[in-house]
Amino acid sequence: MLPRLANLFGPDFTRSAFQLTRNYRVGTINVLTVFPGMGTPMIGTLKPALTLLKPYFAIGARVVLCLPAFLVPASLLSELSAAAGVPVSLSTTTPLAEQQAMQQLQTQISTAARRG
């Protein structure tokens, strides 16, 4: 059987997780890749999203976060792994990609602060 891959997109990860529950059966996701989506990622929604998806992970599944490392400290990785019931890791990004992501996030935060 081929591995079942799924993608979870922010900025609201819980909303995206609800959508995934409609497209996958329990125990069928082998690899979940998490992307920031458009806008500022709402990191606080990631743990509830993984908790919701926990029954959908197959035995031996894993979660890969394609998020800037500065948003996901090591302590959060272990919390997310516990919530998901499977290993959660941070994908490696180049320093340039991380710097660009940080600059983009800072711009989005400043823009939101000016509007608010």
Angle, CA 95 vertex, CA 36 and CA 42 arms, to 5°: 20
Residues 6+ apart with CB under 8 A from 65: 34, 72, 77, 80, 88, 89, 90, 91
Domain residue limits at 108 = 5-115
Residue 98 has pLDDT above 60, yes or no: no
Number of domains in the chain: 1
| pLDDT for 99 | 58
CA atoms of 90 and 22, how far apart (whole Å)? 26
What percent of the chain clears pLDDT 70, i.e. is strictly above it?
80
Q: Please, what is the average pLDDT of the chain? A: 86
pLDDT, tens digit, 9 for 90 and up, residues 10-52: 999 999 999 999 999 999 999 999 998 888 889 999 999 999 9
pLDDT, tens digit, 9 for 90 and up, residues 73-97: 889 999 999 999 999 999 865 445 5
| pLDDT for 40 | 85
Q: pTM, whole model, 2 decimals? A: 0.78
